[in-house]
Structure formats: C-alpha cells, structure tokens
C-alpha cells in the first residue's frame, strides 16, 4: 500500500516543488518573512497582552507612544504586496536564469503601473483629491495581483532577454552600465504590456486590475481558505509527504502558502481597523495549534521518549532531541528513530496533526480558543509562549498544553510498540555472545 | 548476506547537531535509519550485523583516524558489503561516506559503496571513479524509497551477480 501511495504522491510533489512559478511565489513571499516578523514584534510591543500595559508605557513615554511603533508595522504589513512583488520578481528571474535584481525592479514597476494613483473619493479640505499610492492597494488586497504581475512581467522580461532583444554596448563599457542597458528593451516590453493592461481595465467596469483580480481570483481562493477542510487538508498532506521523506510544507506551501498569508494579513488589517477578526486558519494557527515540535507534532513523542523510554536507544535519542523539539525541530527523530518510511509510526505521525487541527478548529469555532491575531512569529517559538503571543490570551497556552497531552496519548501505544521492539533487540544482543559483542574501536589492529 | 552500515551520529539516532563530537562508536545490529533500510535489505537476504558511526565534527577533526579505524573495523567484522550512507545532502557526512567506502575498497577485499545526493558535487567528482556512489534525493526530496531499492540492486549485483554489476552501476551511480 505504501509503495502505491508513494508512487502516486511523488509525481505530485515533483510537479509542485519543481514548478518554477509556484517555487518563485513561495520563495518570493519568504523574502518578506523577516520583515513581517520584526513588524510583528513592534506590533506586539504596542499591543502587549497584559492589562494596563499601554498605560504603564505611557507613564514614561507619553500618551500615543504606539504611533512611533506603527511606523514600523505599517511599513511591513501595509505594503506586503509591494515587498512580495519584489521577492517574487527576484525569485522568478532566478528561476528563469536572468538578471535577478533587474527582474525584481521590473516586477515592482509593472505592479505600480497597474496600481491606482488617483483617488477622487479622498479629497482634502482645499478640495484637492489624493494622488499617490494607497495602502489599500499595496497591502493584503493587492497580494494576488502582485503575484501575477511579478510572474508575467518577469516572463516578458526574460523572454526578451533570452531572444537577445538588448542594446549592445562596445567592449570596455563597465559591466554595471552594460547590464542596465541590456535590461532596457526587455523592461520596455514588460512595462508597455502592463501599460496596455492598465488602459484596458480603465475602460471596463472594474476600472483597475486590482479590482478585477481581487473579485475573480483572490476573494474566491481566500474563500476556500475559510472552509473547515482547508487547514486539515494542508496538515494531512504535509505530514503524508514527510512520511515518505519528502519535505511536506515545501510542497504544500506552493499552493496553500499564499492563501495562509492573505488570511493572516486580513486578520491583522481587521484588528488594526478595530473590526472583528474572522479568519481561523492563519499562519499562526497553522504553526502553533496544529503542530508542536515539528512535522507530525512530535514534541509529545520526544518528551515520552526521553522520560518514559525503556530501551537505551529510545531514551538516548529522546534526551538528545528534546532541546531541538522545544523549538519545533524534529530532524533527529525523523531519520534517527526513524519516522520516515517506518510503518509503526505512520499512523500517529499523520493522525496527530490532523486531530490537533480539528480540535483547535472546533475550539475556535465555539469560542474556547481565541482567534489568532495575524501577528507573525518565528515558527520556532516554543509552546505556551507562542499560544499566548499569537492570541493575546493565556487560555491559548493552556489549550496548547491540553493538545500536547492528547498528542502524547495518541503516540503512546505506538511508542510502546517501538520501545518494546528495541528493548527486545537490546536484550537479545546482550544474551547472545559472539564475536560481535563488545565491539570497540580501541582494540583494532592496523595491519 | 552480512551488511555493515557506516552512519553519522544523526542517522544513528545518537543526535546529529546536538551531538556533533560523538566519538567513533560501533553497535551490534542496526540502529536509527537502519530501521528504514532494513525491509529493503531483507528483500535481498541482507542482515545488518553492525553499525559504525561518529559525529560530523569529530570526523572533521579526525579525518584520517576515522577513515583508518572504520576500514580496520570493517576488516575485522568481514561483512559481505559495507554501505556508507545514505548521506543525503549533508556535506561532511557525505564526504566521510565517500572516503570510508574508497578506503575499504582500496585496503580490503570487502565490497562497499557510498550514497549521497547530487548537491555534494565536489565529493562526487573526487570519488566517483574510486567507489560506486549511489544516487539519492536530498533531505526532503522525492524518490528516497526508490533510491534505497537501487542501493539494494547494487549490493545484490556486487555480492551475487558480478556479471550485472557494471550495468547496475551505470544505471544507479554517478
């Protein structure tokens, strides 16, 4: 059965993880992660989940101190489509084998070409309408258009580059000057195309590409992300791939990543606007309520290995793996226990993240678990801290502990099975006496 | 068929990055990733008699000693085949695999191979003419199970069907 399943999954994993467009989108958004994490820290300081925090800081920093921090959060979250375009443009140029930074800048420019610049509805006291780029178009709502623009513009750019539609300068011209002139005609192709696209949309009821893509693509896709099956499907597929040694999230994030990102951003936007947050399946939910200790939610398993394991192998591996497991890394046991291709561990490894997701979803729906705020924390954030910071409530930390106990209960019988097997092997080896006993590198001869 | 495995401490289940200075260790039977390989070995009648391992930092600091002692231990245990790997895309461990397999082939009559992913291009280039190096995916890549089957075909051909060895090597090795 495993063979058949692997044969079915491998081509899917290959197609998704080797697809240049999907890889560029996944890697391009990764470029924005450090900025959004730093932005989240500023956001957390401004809204630290302790009663009286704001007043306490105001007592020495003055009223309205949060505004200083919002300069950072705004410059990361409110322009996430803009930084995403740069990242995706760069990553796709890399995939296409053309000048990466030129590709990134062309993508950014093309995105700005199709972005609204005049806002007749926003008029100041002097009666003058706002002219410029608005956060509304550069942030969450522009993310899918950003992805499409980056891919199409770099595709046109690289097409022209590869067909040598470039201006050649004589030898001896400095390379930086040579590169910028080489990019000129390809950039002109891309920019003209987007100017035409912009012109076409101006003459439709949508007015802008932003409105069109948001309505026909982003809203429906993100709608799928709000369905109850979204997260469970993501978690199930991610661990299923891992079981066969394939990096699950690297495959699944090509499809699920952009939707997670938008769902997370939407909650953040809602919170900033003082509206109710409605998206359950944010990146924070996925990282901190579905998996503890890495893929397969193995933290509970590692704790039991360290403290309940009877065989020397299980005990030693558990103790060595525990520090990394607390920070969400389970590589030592993935290959050391092992979990990959180990039929005994297949059931809990795939089942536990699914059950975590189902229970956390139900708990959020019935109001026990507070909704995640859209704050983006490093996925290595330890259990309890992560729950508290991502929801602002200690209830979430308690819920995480309860899930950890549930994970342990599910893993326990399977661990016992494995532990018993290893223990038998160890005692068998202890009983047998042959020339393989007392293997030691100390008494070797080197003739 | 008696098989000997050469691992790093991570694959041996003795902690990888958390135990990088792990000294040379020999364990009877199979441990760690050996569990993942065992069902495949069973199909060709292979049994793991022992697993030798050390941490990658220990290897970096004691390269000559590690290679020499691994070779001497292989000679003492006298298996039918020594598997040095799977090295995935781990650079130090893959180099250790290539060096140990080469030394065992050059200094003993025991058959051996290394196994690693294409990311170790420099190691592959240096050692591919000295030892068979079975192709495999990097960590998290697709086709792990397949590559283990290919490894078994190579072991089986080396030990039982030498007439097929060149063909198998051309098919599955760098």
Domain end among A225, A245, A267: A225
Query: Which pLDDT belongs to residue A195?
Result: 97
CA distance B169 to chain A (A): 24
B138 burial level (CB within 10 Å; 0-12, 13-18, 19+): middle
First to last CA, chain A: 49
Chain B contact present for A421, CB below 8 A: no
d(CA B45, CA B142): 26
Q: Which of A179, A197, A225 is the last residue before a domain boundary?
A: A225
Q: For B7-24, write each residue's pLDDT tens digit.
A: 999 999 888 888 899 999
User: In this structure, what are the phi and psi dihedrals at residue A48, rounded to the nearest 5 degrees?
Assistant: -60, 135
- What number is the average pLDDT over the span A95-118? 96
Contacts of A245 in chain B (CB under 8 A): 137, 139-141, 144-145
pLDDT attached to residue A343: 85
| Cβ–Cβ contact A178 with B under 8 A | no
With CB atoms and an 8 Å threshold, state whether B32 touches A335: yes
Q: Is A404's pLDDT higher than 80?
A: yes
Identify the residue with better confidence: A39 or A4: A39
Q: Are residues A251 and A380 in the same domain?
A: yes
Assigned domain for A67 exists: no
Q: What span, in angstroms and rounded, lies between the C-alpha atoms of A43 and A70? A: 7
b/e burial code for range A174-186 (CB count within 10 A of at least 16 → b)? eeeebeeebbebb
Can you say whether residue A127 is alpha, beta or left, with left for phi > 0 and alpha for psi between -120 and 50 degrees?
Answer: left
Q: How many domains does chain B have?
A: 1
Q: Is the pLDDT of residue A2 over 80?
A: no
In tens, the pLDDT along A358-400 reads: 999 999 999 999 999 888 888 899 999 999 999 999 999 999 9
Q: Take residue B65 and report the two structure tokens written for it.
A: 């000693």
**By CA distance, what is B11's nearest residue in A?**
A336
Q: What is the pLDDT of residue B108?
A: 95
Q: Is residue A39 one of the residues assigned to a domain?
A: no
Interchain proximity A335–B142, CB inside 8 Å: no
pLDDT, residue A49, reads: 82
Segment A10-21 mean pLDDT:
86
Residues B107-111: what's their mean pLDDT? Answer: 95
A307 and A421, same domain (yes or no): yes
Mean pLDDT of chain A: 90
Residues of A in contact with B11 (CB under 8 A): 335-336
- Is pLDDT at A268 greater than 70 in this prediction? yes
CB pairs under 8 A between A and B: 110
Peptide bond before residue A415 is cis, with ω within 30 degrees of 0: no
Give one word for B13, left, alpha or beta, with left for phi > 0 and alpha for psi -120 to 50: left
Statement: residue A432 has pLDDT above 70:
no
Work out the minimum CA distance from A8 to partner chain B, whole angstroms.
Answer: 12
* Closest Cα in chain B, distance from residue A239 (Å): 12
Query: What is the rounded CA–CA span in Å between residue B32 and residue B35?
Result: 6
For A272-297, the pLDDT digits (tens) are: 888 899 999 999 999 999 999 999 99
| % of chain A at pLDDT higher than 90 | 58
Residues A267 and A215 in one domain: no
A208 and A248 fall within a common domain: no
Task: Name every residue in B having a CB less than 8 A away from some CB of A.
Answer: 10-19, 24-29, 31-33, 35-36, 49-50, 68-69, 72-73, 76-77, 137, 139-145
Q: Are residues A327 and A245 in the same domain?
A: yes
Report yes or no on A102 lying in a domain. Answer: yes
CA distance A321 to A298: 10
Render pLDDT for A44-78 as a digit per residue (tens, 0 to 9): 888 888 888 889 999 998 888 988 998 998 899 89
More confident call, A64 vs B117:
B117
- B139 and A324: CB-CB below 8 Å? no
Mean pLDDT is highest, among A64-68, A337-341, B93-97, for B93-97
- Look at residue B47 and give its three-state secondary structure: strand
Judge whether residue A433 has pLDDT over 70.
no
* Residue A298 and residue A287 share a domain: yes
Contact residues, chain A, for B40 at CB < 8 Å: none
Q: pLDDT at residue A434 above 80? A: no
Test B142 with A250 for CB contact under 8 angstroms: no
* A266/A188 same-domain check: no
Give me the pLDDT at residue A362, please.
Answer: 96
Query: A13 falls in which pLDDT band (50, 70, 90)?
Result: confident
Residues in chain B within 8 Å Cβ distance of A246: 140-142, 144
Query: Taking the alpha carbons of B34, B38, B40, B43 in that order, is the dihedral positive or negative?
Result: positive
- Identify from A17, A337, A338 which residue to disrupt to test chain B contact, counting B C-beta atoms within 10 A and taking the largest count: A338
Chain B: nearest CA to A430, how far in angstroms?
10
Range of the domain at A141: 78-225
Picking from A17, A244, A321, the nearest residue to B15 by CB comes out as: A321
- Grade residue A441 by pLDDT with cuts at 50, 70 and 90: confident
Residues 6+ apart with CB under 8 A from A326: A293, A299, A382, A383
Q: Are residues A243 and A351 in the same domain?
A: yes
Terminus-to-terminus CA distance in chain B, angstroms? 25
pLDDT at A436: 67
- Residues A268 and A415 both lie in one domain: yes
Question: Do B24 and B69 contact (CB within 8 A), yes or no?
Answer: yes
Residue in A48, A53, A43 with CA at minimum distance from that of residue A74: A43
CATH number at residue B95: 3.40.50.2300
How far is the C-alpha of B67 from the C-alpha of B77, rounded, in Å?
15
Instruction: Give the DSSP H or E segment for A351.
Output: helix A343-365
Tell which wins on pLDDT, A168 or B103: B103
Report how far residue A393's alpha carbon sits from residue A399's, in angstroms, rounded to the nearest whole number. Answer: 10
**CA angle centred on A329, ends A266 and B60, rounded to 5°:** 135
CA A290, chain centre distance (Å): 14
In Å, how far is B26's CA from the nearest CA of chain A?
A: 6
Gyration radius (Cα) of chain B, Å: 14
Question: Are the Cβ atoms of B32 and A246 closer than 8 angstroms?
Answer: no
E strands, A182-246, in order: none
- CA nearest to B26 within chain A: A439
Same domain, A244 and A375: yes
CB contact under 8 A, B27 and A17: no
Domain that holds residue B24: 2-172
* Structure tokens that stand for A255 in this block: 């499809």
How far are the Cα atoms of A254, A410, B25, B55, B56 from residue B22, in angstroms, in the given order? 38, 33, 8, 5, 8
Closest CA to A236 of A252, A260, A224, A259: A252
The pLDDT of B137-152, averaged and rounded, is 92
For CA atoms A314, A415, A3, A286, the dihedral sign is negative
Distance between B135 CA and the closest CA of chain A, angstroms? 15
Residue B132: half-sphere exposure toward Cβ, Cα within 13 Å:
25
Residue B56 C-alpha, separation from nearest chain A C-alpha, in angstroms: 14
Contacts of A335 in chain B (CB under 8 A): 10-11, 32-33, 36, 139
Residue A435 has pLDDT above 80, yes or no: no
**pLDDT reading at B45 higher than 90:** yes
For residues B68-94, give the mean pLDDT.
95
- Kindly report the nearest CA distance between residue A152 and chain B, in angstroms: 28
Task: List CB contacts (< 8 A) between B6 and chain A.
Answer: none
Tell me what pLDDT residue A331 has: 84
CB count within 10 Å of CB B156 equals 20
Give yes or no for residue A446 having a pLDDT over 70.
Answer: no
Burial A250-282 (b: 16+ CB within 10 A, else e): bbbbbbbbbbbbbbbbbbbbbbbeeeebebbbb
Residues 239-268 of A with CB under 8 A from B: 244-247, 250
- The domain total for chain A is 2
Going by their DSSP bridges, the two strands B25-28 and B47-54 should be labelled as antiparallel
Nearest C-alpha in A relative to B79: A436
Is A261 part of any domain? yes
Q: Give yes or no: residues A308 and A396 share one domain.
A: yes
Inter-CA distances, B109 with A114, A162, A300, A443, Å: 70, 54, 47, 21
Phi-psi region of A307 (alpha: psi -120 to 50; beta: other; left: phi over 0): alpha
Minimal CA–CA distance to A313: which of B148, B9, B147, B47?
A: B9
Report the pLDDT averaged over residues A160-174.
85
pLDDT at A437 over 80: no
Task: Tell me what pLDDT residue A445 has.
Answer: 64
DSSP one-letter string for A106-162: HHHHHHHHHS--EEEEEE-TTSPEEES--HHHHSGGGHHHHHHHHHHHHHHHHHHHH
Cα(B40)–Cα(B37) distance, rounded to whole angstroms?
6
- The whole-number pLDDT of residue A447 equals 58
Which residue, of A225, A260, A293, is where some domain finishes?
A: A225
Question: Which of A253, A444, A446, A447 would you mutate first to test chain B, the one with the most B CBs within 10 A?
Answer: A444
Is residue A435 in a domain?
no
| pLDDT at residue A175, as a whole number | 80
Shared domain for A276 and A135, answered yes or no, is no
Q: How confident is the model at residue B84 (pLDDT cuts 50, 70, 90)?
A: very high
Q: Is the pLDDT of residue A94 over 90?
A: yes
A327 in contact with chain B, both atoms CB, cutoff 8 A: no
Task: Evaluate whether ipTM surpasses 0.90.
Answer: no
Closest chain B C-alpha to A227 CA, distance in angstroms:
29
Q: To the nearest whole number, what is the mean pLDDT of chain B?
A: 94
pLDDT at A393: 92
């Amino acid at each position: 059965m495993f063979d058949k399943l692997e044969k079915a999954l491998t081509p899917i994993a290959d197609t998704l993880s080797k697809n240049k467009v999907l890889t560029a989108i996944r890697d391009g958004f990764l470029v924005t992660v450090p900025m959004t994490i730093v932005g989240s820290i500023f956001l957390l300081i401004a809204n630290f989940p302790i009663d009286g925090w704001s007043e306490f800081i105001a007592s020495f920093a003055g009223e309205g101190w949060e505004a200083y921090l919002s300069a950072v959060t705004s410059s990361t979250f409110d322009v996430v489509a803009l930084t995403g375009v740069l990242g995706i443009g760069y990553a796709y140029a890399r995939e296409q084998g053309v000048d990466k930074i030129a590709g990134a800048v062309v993508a950014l420019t093309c995105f700005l070409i199709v972005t609204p610049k005049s806002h007749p509805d926003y008029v100041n006291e002097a009666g003058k309408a706002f002219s410029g780029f608005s956060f509304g178009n550069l942030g969450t709502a522009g993310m899918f258009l950003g992805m499409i623009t980056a891919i199409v513009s770099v595709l046109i750019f690289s097409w022209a580059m590869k067909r040598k539609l470039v201006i050649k300068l004589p030898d001896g011209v400095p390379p930086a000057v040579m590169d910028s002139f080489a990019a000129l005609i390809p950039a002109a192709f891309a920019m003209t195309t987007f100017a035409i696209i912009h012109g076409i949309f101006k003459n439709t009821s949508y007015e802008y590409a932003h409105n069109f893509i948001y309505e026909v693509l982003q809203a429906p896709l993100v709608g799928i992300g709000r369905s109850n099956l979204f997260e469970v499907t993501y978690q199930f597929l991610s661990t299923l791939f891992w079981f066969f040694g394939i990096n699950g999230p690297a495959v699944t994030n090509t499809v699920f990543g952009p939707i997670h990102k938008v769902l997370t951003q939407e909650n953040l936007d809602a919170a900033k606007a003082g509206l109710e947050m409605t998206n359950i399946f944010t990146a924070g939910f996925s990282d901190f309520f579905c998996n503890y200790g890495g893929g397969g939610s193995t933290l509970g398993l590692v704790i039991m290995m360290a403290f309940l394991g009877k065989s020397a192998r299980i005990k030693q591996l558990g103790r060595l793996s525990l520090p990394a497991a607390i920070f969400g890394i389970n590589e030592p046991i993935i290959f050391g226990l092992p979990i990959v291709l180990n039929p005994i561990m297949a059931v809990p490894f795939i089942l536990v993240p699914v059950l975590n997701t189902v229970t956390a979803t139900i708990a959020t729906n019935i109001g026990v678990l507070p909704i995640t705020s859209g704050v983006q924390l490093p996925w290595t954030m330890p259990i309890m801290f992560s729950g508290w910071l991502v929801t602002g409530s200690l209830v979430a930390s308690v819920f995480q502990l309860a899930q950890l106990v549930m994970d342990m209960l599910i893993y326990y019988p399977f661990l016992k099975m494995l532990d018993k097997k290893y223990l038998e092997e160890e005692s068998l080896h202890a009983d047998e006496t042959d020339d393989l006993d007392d293997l030691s590198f100390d008494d070797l001869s080197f003739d | 068929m008696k098989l000997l495995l050469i691992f790093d401490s991570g694959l041996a289940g003795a902690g990888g990055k958390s135990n990088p200075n792990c000294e040379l260790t020999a364990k009877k039977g199979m441990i760690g990733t050996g569990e993942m390989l065992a069902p495949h070995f069973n199909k060709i009648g292979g049994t793991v008699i022992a697993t030798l391992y050390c941490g990658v930092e220990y290897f970096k600091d004691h390269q000559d000693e590690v290679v020499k002692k691994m070779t001497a231990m292989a000679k003492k245990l006298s298996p039918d085949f020594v598997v040095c790997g799977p090295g995935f895309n781990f650079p130090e461990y893959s180099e250790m695999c290539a060096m140990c397999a080469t030394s065992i082939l050059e200094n003993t009559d025991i058959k051996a191979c290394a196994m690693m992913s294409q990311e170790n291009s420099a190691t592959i280039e240096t050692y591919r003419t000295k030892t068979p190096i079975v192709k495999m995916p990097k960590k998290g890549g697709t086709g792990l199970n397949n590559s283990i089957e290919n490894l078994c075909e190579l072991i089986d051909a080396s030990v039982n069907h030498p007439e097929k060895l060149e063909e198998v090597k051309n098919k599955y090795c760098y």
